[in-house]
Amino acid sequence: MALSASDLPAIYSLLTNSMSGDESVRKPAEAALAQCEARPGFCSCLMEIISAKDLASQVDVRLLASVCFKNSINRYWRNRRDSSGISNEEKVHLRHKLLSHLREENYQIALTLAVLISKIARIDYPKEWPDLFSVLGQQLQSADVLSSHRIFLILFRTLKELSTKRLPAGQRTFAEISSHLFDYSWQLWQCDVQTILHGFTTITQNFTSNAQEQQQEELYLICERWLLCLKIIRQLEVRPVKEVSPVLLNAIQSFLPYYSSFQKGHPKFWEFIKRACIKLMKVLIVIQETHPFSFSDKSVLPVVMLFCLNKIKDPEPDVISFEPFFIQCMVLVKCVLECKEYKRSLIGRVIEENGATLEQMKKNISNAVNGVLTSLLPSERIIHLCNVLIRRYFVLTPNDLEAWYQNPELFHHEQDMVQWTEKLRPCAEALYIVLFHNHTELLGPVVVSILQEAMNGCPTSVTELTPGLLLKDAAYGAAAYVYYELSNYLSFKDWFNGALSLDLSNDHPNMRIIHRKVALILGQWVSEIKDDTKRPVYCALIKLLQDKDLSVGLAACRSLCLHIEDANFSEKEFTDLLPICWDSCFKLVEEVQEFDSKVQILNLVSILIEHVTEVLPFANKLVPFFQKVWEDSFGESLLQIQLLIALKNFVVALGYQSPVCYDVLLPILQKGIDINSPDELNLLEDSMLLWEATLCHAPSIVPQLYAYFPCLVEIMERSFDHLEVGINIIDDYIILGGMEFLSTHASNVAKLLDLIVGNVNDSGLLSTLPVIDTLIQKLMVVCLSGGDDYEPSKTTVKASSAAIFARILVMNTNFLAQLAAESSLLQLLQNSGVSIGENVLLGLIDVWLDKVDNVSSVQRKAYGLALSIILKLRLPQILEKLDQILSVCTSVILGSNDDISEEESSGDNTISSRAHGADTIPSRELRRRQIKFSDPINQLSLEASVRENLQTCAALYGESFNAAISSMHPAAFAQLKQALKMP
């Protein structure tokens, strides 16, 4: 039943009660609101409450109403089958009402309504709401500051929503809006800049006056409108770069002087200055990334680059604390330096090519820009910029040292994992790396010189926190970040044997600053560490891993991962260090508190297990370690994922000794494969891989593993996301458990295969076929259907399916004959559009004859045996295909002997090579081969079968058989006699 105006008091009461602190009042009200939201008229009632003038002071109720309104739009604005939704008449009313309530004084409610309108516009504009932007434009003409701010809030949210549409029609619509809206927005933005600057001048001249308070509130609203307008300009596709960019830069230069003026007396405007300058820089960065060629104009690129470079190298004292702004300056310089469009083109023009193509024009611009950048960054300026980055921005500040002292662990992660665009030092490091990469030959000797100066100015004996020590730390960092290019100018061996080893020998607490950077260097320079230096480097990293300072230990942990994963890792040099390395990891994980630290340490343990040979001797320590980490990881999915990966590597490393860890592993595995577990979404994939590894390296199946198999059915019933791993798990169970497993879980296996066949793509089905021996009717449809001529994957599926039916015919001829005559199969084939002609078996014969060249040697033999058995069945139609049948059988007999003998020889070699003793546990591959060579198909003689069944066929058909034989080509008949060893 629809709600009307008479229900407004009831809805208002429900909203009020929904905010009650009394649960007995709040819960029924929330339930009643949930029931009302699907009723027609609910959104109209909410809109009336939001816009009611007499309720203007009831901000909480109106805000809750706006939130409920937004949620209802998300759920019911689109017409859905399961809901009547909102009627078209009510939609028209709501759209009109929303655009008539633009002067909302409460910002949160105005923001919610703006988001709400943007959601509706995404669905309705332009078909159902064509006048949206025209109405907003008309309202702007006569709007006061508050109304215009709210309109621009709506415009920004709506444009942001529409810009995310990716279909061509949506993009064309957005382009049309951009072309109409840009000019007005740009003009208003420029006018507001002047208004704001004039207002700021007035404020700075009247610090103690209270008469300006009302004007300041209005000015602040204009500032907010200006920011919204700037965001809209950033969203719009139409941006005349040469006109816009210089104006944006001028605005930055005009606002920056007020940074220090407003810092103490006007915090609200000080925050605006920060937001404005950062946003303006971000818009310039977006313009450069989006329109690099237009940005390269001589009126834009040189001016902007020079401004940013000057701010980085020589910032004014008043703005030196404005770190986020310097970050944006560095980001822009970095973007320009690594912009591929600005790289000089080395490709010349084609001789006698007429005219200038677009590509040629781009090359000309690139070459010109390269010249501009060369003039902007002469050698001395590049060297100066490199020095500034290292000596000023790389050096740890007093705040950094205090943060390190208070919490070394947290300091490490802030330095190690922070995004380079979020902090000043990482941003300076990113800019330095790009600068060095572009000017390696120039800066290589410069960095080495700074490094030598720092080491000479701060000998190893110096332990005080002097500027020299901090510069040494910065220089070490500079050498670490560009290790690849710098290796041509600096010998790592000499550096390590000299200064770095001496640094490590000094255990003074203040040396932790240098020790942490040495750990970074040892990890970054891994590719330059040669054989004669590996051992001392490994020892150094193990020592750093044991450092009392957690920041140093975690840095060493990361560097050790890099060394162990390196292609040239020397296990021989590391083997005797393993015990102390394990113990250090176990101790470190006890000391750390941060989640990221535990993940990092566990990652090192996992990598160690994966890359070293001797793991079993340490199993008695690793098992309780994994147990404790699992107990401490409750609610931390990422840590649990890392633990599952480590356990998988542990199981693989243990091989057939893996049951020693089952007490820990199996409960963890059971939780991971439980689809009802709260963490299932995060843990299932890695748990499935652990399950597969556990089965693959198990000497036998323990009862718990048998009990887990039904979980696979539940997983597959929900989705096929893990199909390939699931098939491998089924395969492992069948190979390892044999008849005992099948006798217990045959119904579950059949259920799984029933889920898979016909419901997955060709790749998934192909991976499933090796374990399919059931669901014959569905496979028959696959086998006899056409449409595989131009699809190799379908051909492979069809051929492999036909091989299964050939095997069934050989092993149980009566079963396949009965199956082929079943009415349910005939109906299934007919419903699937498969034309079967007179007999299903005749259709199979055609497939065997057609696909014999698309299968393996064993499958070809099954084809041959099936075709030979067909000869003795009472199917007169086979005489028409007799020459083809005998030709296939002949080719299989003559061609398969070598294949089979080769496989048997390979199998014997495999068996003999692995049979080191009576107690050796056969590998998974060996078990598979044993099953393969015990296959009855391999035991049967195709030659004898053809000879015997030919005689039966001759007796059945008499003269018709003789006529068919006599029609064979003499050469084919001669090959048949050769194959059957007939005189």
Q: What is the DSSP string of 332-376?
A: HHHHHHT-GGGSPP---PPTT--S--HHHHHHHHHHHHHHHHHHH
Q: How confident is the model at residue 841 (pLDDT cuts 50, 70, 90)?
A: confident
In tens, the pLDDT along 17-73 reads 999 989 999 999 999 998 888 888 999 999 999 999 888 889 999 999 999 999 999
pLDDT of residue 419: 83
Domain positions in the chain are: 614-699, 700-774, 775-897+921-980
- Give dist(CA 444, CA 479) in Å, integer: 10
Give residue-wise pLDDT tens across range 74-102.
888 987 765 667 889 999 999 999 999 99
Query: Is residue 922 over pLDDT 70?
Result: no
Q: What's the pLDDT at 809?
A: 86
Stronger pLDDT, 773 or 346, i.e. the higher one: 346
Kindly report, residue by residue over 388-432, the tens digit of the pLDDT.
999 999 999 999 999 999 999 999 998 877 788 889 999 999 999
Least confident of 108-122, 451-465, 717-731, 766-780: 766-780
Q: Give the residue among 712, 706, 713, 695 at the shortest CA–CA distance from 742.
A: 706
Cα dihedral sign, 320-324-327-333: negative
Cβ neighbours for 691, distance < 8 A, ≥ 6 positions apart? 669, 672, 673, 708, 725, 729
Confidence of residue 780 (pLDDT cuts 50, 70, 90): low
Residue corresponding to tokens 């140093």: 552
Asked if residues 432 and 384 have their Cβ atoms less than 8 Å apart, the reply is no
CA 188, CA 344: separation in Å to the nearest integer?
Answer: 40
pLDDT greater than 90 at residue 721: no
Where is pLDDT greater, at 764 or 290? 290
Average per-residue pLDDT for the chain:
86
Q: Is the pLDDT of residue 759 over 80?
A: no
The pLDDT-based confidence of 768 (bands split at 50, 70, 90) is: low
672 phi and psi angles, rounded to 5 deg? -70, -30
Query: What percentage of the chain exceeds 70 in pLDDT?
Result: 88
Q: What is the pLDDT of residues 588-613, one digit of tens each?
A: 999 999 889 999 999 999 999 999 98
Helix (H) / strand (E) containing 131: none
CB 185 within 8 A of CB 177: no
Please tell me the predicted confidence (pLDDT) of residue 238.
60
pLDDT-derived band of residue 761, with 50, 70 and 90 as boundaries?
low
CA distance 557 to 278: 37
Residue 312 pLDDT exceeds 90: yes
Q: According to the model, what pLDDT value does residue 788 have? A: 63
Q: What average pLDDT does this structure show over 951-958? A: 89
The pLDDT of residue 789 is 61
Q: What is the mean pLDDT of residues 638-658?
A: 92
Overall pTM surpassing 0.85 (yes/no): no
Q: What pLDDT score was predicted for residue 919?
A: 46
Could you report the per-residue pLDDT of 137-155, keeping only the tens digit for each? 899 888 889 999 999 999 9
Per the model's pLDDT, the better-predicted residue between 447 and 831 turns out to be 447
Cis check for the bond before 126: say yes or no (omega within 30 of 0). yes
Residue 857 clears pLDDT 70, i.e. is over it? yes
Most confident of 302-306, 595-599, 954-958: 302-306
Smallest CA-to-CA distance from 321 within 432, 397, 427, 418 is with 397
Identify residue 392 by its one-letter amino acid code.
Answer: R
pLDDT value for 880: 86
∠ CA 301-304-306 to the nearest 5 degrees?
Answer: 100
Determine the pLDDT at residue 915. Answer: 38
Q: How many residues in the chain?
A: 983
Q: What is the pLDDT of residue 293?
A: 87
pLDDT at 781 over 70: no
Q: Is the pLDDT of residue 954 over 70?
A: yes
Of residues 345 and 849, which shows the higher confidence score?
A: 849
Residue 774 scores a pLDDT above 50 = no
pLDDT of residue 566: 93
> What pLDDT digit, counting tens, does each position of 874-915 carry?
888 888 888 898 998 998 888 865 554 444 444 444 433 333
Per-residue pLDDT, averaged over 811-839, amounts to 73
